[in-house]
Amino acid sequence: EDDDEQLVERIQTEDGRVQDVHVYQVYLLGMSGTGKCSLMRQFKSTEYRGIYDYSSSLDDDPDNTVPIMLDGIESRLHIITIDVEQIKTSVTGDAYIVVYSITDRQSFQTALQLIKNIRDTESFHNQSSIKRHIPIILVGNKSDLVRKRSVTKETARHAALKANCKFVETSAAINDKVDDLLAGTLKQIRINEQIRNE
């Protein structure tokens, strides 16, 4: 019934146990220059990093896949980074991370438009069924650039609430809240999956 693509891979842990690892598709979207590559770089050195051994898998791209250990369960996030300038209409992932820079109002407007597009596509595919929301996390990056701020936290938080998104401000430069973003994304995916399976 559920035709969403969901990958599960069976791995052997270092102490010999067998574990199923879920692989989720996460889109990292936003205008170029907002900090997506920098965030991705920080994701790779997260303190939630899992133990998954890529040498055992042929079809994995270690460059954009992050193993994460959260609440004692390992998962993998396959992260696809796209500059909004080149986004196509119907990409479907398990979650979306939509990034703007707190110093750039234009990038904030673009992020909101992007979220609207995702929600519109979602309701189009979802007309008859009970409304479920794919997790979207709105991310105000470059929070360290306090004096160049042009988007307030309140404005962004309000917009996120209206669109049913989570919201966090991060700094990829000083690695602030980046771990929260990564773990929060996986948490939202797991919650969403649970709701779906009920």
With binding defined as CB under 6 A, does residue 144 bind ligand GDP? yes
Stretch that binds ligand GDP, among 49-57, 123-131, 142-150, 180-188 (CB under 6 A): 142-150
Binding to ligand GDP by residue 171, rule CB under 6 A?
yes
**Residue in 25, 34, 185, 188 binding ligand GDP, rule: CB under 6 A:** 34
| Options 36, 76, 166, 177; binder of ligand GDP; rule CB under 6 A | 36
CB atoms within 10 A of CB 65: 16
Residue 133 has what DSSP assignment?
-
Strand partners, 19: 11
Please, what is the Cα angle at 99 between 158 and 114, to 5 degrees? 75
CB 29 within 8 A of CB 84: yes
Question: How many CA atoms does the CB half-sphere of 115 hold within 13 Å?
Answer: 26
Q: Residue 104 in contact with residue 32, Cβ under 8 Å?
A: no
| Cβ nearer to ligand GDP, comparing 69 with 173 | 173
Binding-residue total with ligand GDP (CB under 6 A): 15
185 binds ligand GDP (CB under 6 A): no
Report the interface residues with ligand GDP, using CB under 6 A.
Answer: 30, 32-38, 141-142, 144-145, 171-173
